């Protein structure tokens, strides 16, 4: 018993884990006093064995328990000390990780893609740097024709390439490589060489649509666009078609949607012009189709009630954080 008290005192005076480990080894390690005594029990007489063995066993157990207790004491006080050393205030409230979110234009584009995908349209892309052929000629906009003036153009220095002024060239690129039936949308960035103001910027986003098949009519177009706008604005919208001119369609029209401020122009559209089919390598006698072009910025501005297009490209977080 006296032996045990002495050992316990020793254990509890250990000031770190290393010292404690030394004490443990001194008694219970391979050559430890208690361990050796236990091993040499076999040499004792039967009577001595009976007396000594249980004593040594319980001593071993007591030492083990005491060492375990001291070691957890030392560990917890060690952790506290380490924390104090780092000046870590464990009671301070945590820092909130700030999550970003998608740009309003990206959100609109994803939503529009989703709606047209659900209507069976495939999403395709074309290059931002275009040739004169795809951007103009193939779309029935000849050189030196006044209709070309609608699209103020950024030309590359060699005058061979230009920044596409609309997404319509993707129609030609797609038809060249695919046969009808065709149902595609082509979202993307377009560029215009014009002065910027609240509703015009030198770059913006458009979405081109094209559907080609046999026996297509304006009724098909009206149904698709009505479904699209209704899904986008989450209610049954009222639309009307107004005659308009675009060289690549005949007849051409503009689509207005009825809103809180009366009729608002939403997009340009029309039945694909025979010359456009010819330029893409189709026989216009066999096919009809409709095409449309929507300004995604305008849609975003209407949906989110933004009054200046330039805000969309400003990178101003005070603006962007609102969406």
Q: How far is the CB of 186 from ligand DAH (least distance, A)?
A: 10
174 is catalytic: no
Closest Cα to residue 175, out of 273, 281, 287? 281
Q: How far is the CB of 129 from ligand DAH (least distance, A)?
A: 17
Q: How far is the CB of 287 from ligand DAH (least distance, A)?
A: 15
- 8 A C-beta contact, residue 272 and residue 282: no
Q: Kindly report the backbone phi and psi dihedral angles of residue 18, in degrees, each rounded to the nearest multiple of 5, phi listed first.
A: -70, -45
Nearest residue (CB) to ligand DAH, 287 versus 292? 292
Nearest residue (CB) to ligand DAH, 187 versus 268? 268
> 124, 255, 279, 291: which one is catalytic?
291
Closest Cα to residue 269, out of 206, 182, 179, 215? 206
Q: How far is the CB of 105 from ligand DAH (least distance, A)?
A: 17
Neighbours of 45 (CB within 10 A): 9
> 148, 164, 173, 192: which one is catalytic?
192
Q: How far apart are CA 34 and CA 57, in angstroms?
A: 9
Nearest residue (CB) to ligand DAH, 249 versus 306? 249
Locate 155 and state its tokens.
Answer: 């030309």
Q: How far is the CB of 194 from ligand DAH (least distance, A)?
A: 12
Radius of gyration over every alpha carbon of the chain, rounded to an integer in angstroms: 41
Q: How far apart are CA 13 and CA 70, in angstroms?
A: 9
192 is catalytic: yes
145 is catalytic: no
Neighbours of 107 (CB within 10 A): 15
251 upstream amide cis, omega within 30 of 0:
yes
> 14, 34, 151, 174: which one is catalytic?
151
> 138, 170, 173, 206: which one is catalytic?
206
DSSP conformation letters of 212-242: EESS--HHHHHHHHHHHHHHHHTS---EEEE
Q: How far apart are CA 28 and CA 57, in angstroms?
A: 11
- 8 A C-beta contact, residue 323 and residue 101: yes
Nearest residue (CB) to ligand DAH, 104 versus 188? 188
> 170, 249, 269, 272: which one is catalytic?
249
Instruction: Indicate the residue whose CB is closest to ligand DAH.
Output: 293
Nearest residue (CB) to ligand DAH, 37 versus 115? 115
> 148, 166, 174, 273: which one is catalytic?
166
Nearest residue (CB) to ligand DAH, 27 versus 248? 248
**Rule CB under 6 A: which residues touch ligand DAH?**
166, 168, 208, 246, 249, 268-270, 291-293
Q: How far is the CB of 322 from ligand DAH (least distance, A)?
A: 29
**CA distances for 200 relative to 121, 147, 148, 309, angstroms:** 29, 20, 18, 7
Active-site residue set: 151, 166, 192, 206, 249, 291
């Amino acid at each position: 018993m006296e032996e045990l008290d002495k050992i316990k005192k020793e254990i509890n005076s250990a000031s770190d884990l290393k010292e404690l480990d030394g004490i443990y080894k001194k008694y219970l390690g391979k050559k430890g006093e208690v361990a050796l005594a236990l091993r040499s029990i076999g040499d004792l007489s039967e009577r001595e064995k009976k007396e000594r063995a249980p004593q040594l066993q319980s001593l071993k157990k007591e030492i083990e328990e005491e060492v375990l207790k001291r070691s957890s004491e030392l560990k917890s006080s060690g952790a506290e000390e380490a924390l104090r050393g780092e000046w870590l205030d464990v009671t301070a409230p945590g820092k909130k990780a700030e999550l970003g979110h998608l740009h309003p234009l990206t959100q609109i584009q994803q939503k529009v893609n989703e709606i047209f995908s659900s209507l069976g349209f495939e999403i395709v892309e074309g290059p931002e740097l275009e040739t004169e052929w795809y951007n103009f000629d193939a779309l029935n906009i000849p050189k030196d024709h006044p209709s070309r003036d609608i699209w103020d153009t950024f030309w590359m220095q060699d005058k061979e390439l230009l920044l596409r002024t609309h997404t319509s060239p993707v129609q030609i690129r797609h038809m060249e490589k695919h046969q009808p039936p065709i149902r595609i949308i082509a979202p993307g960035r377009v560029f215009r060489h014009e002065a910027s103001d609240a509703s015009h910027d030198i770059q913006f986003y458009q979405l081109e649509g094209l559907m080609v098949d046999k026996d297509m009519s304006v009724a098909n177009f009206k149904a698709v666009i009505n479904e699209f706008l209704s899904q986008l604005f989450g209610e049954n919208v009222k639309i009307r078609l107004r005659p308009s001119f675009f060289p690549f369609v005949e007849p051409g029209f503009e689509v207005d949607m009825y809103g809180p401020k009366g009729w608002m122009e939403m997009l340009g559209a029309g039945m694909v012009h025979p010359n456009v089919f010819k330029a893409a390598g189709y026989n216009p006698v066999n096919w009809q189709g409709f095409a449309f072009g929507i300004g995604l910025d305008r849609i975003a501005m209407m949906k989110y009630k933004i009054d200046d297009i330039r805000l969309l490209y400003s990178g101003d977080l005070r603006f962007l954080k609102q969406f």
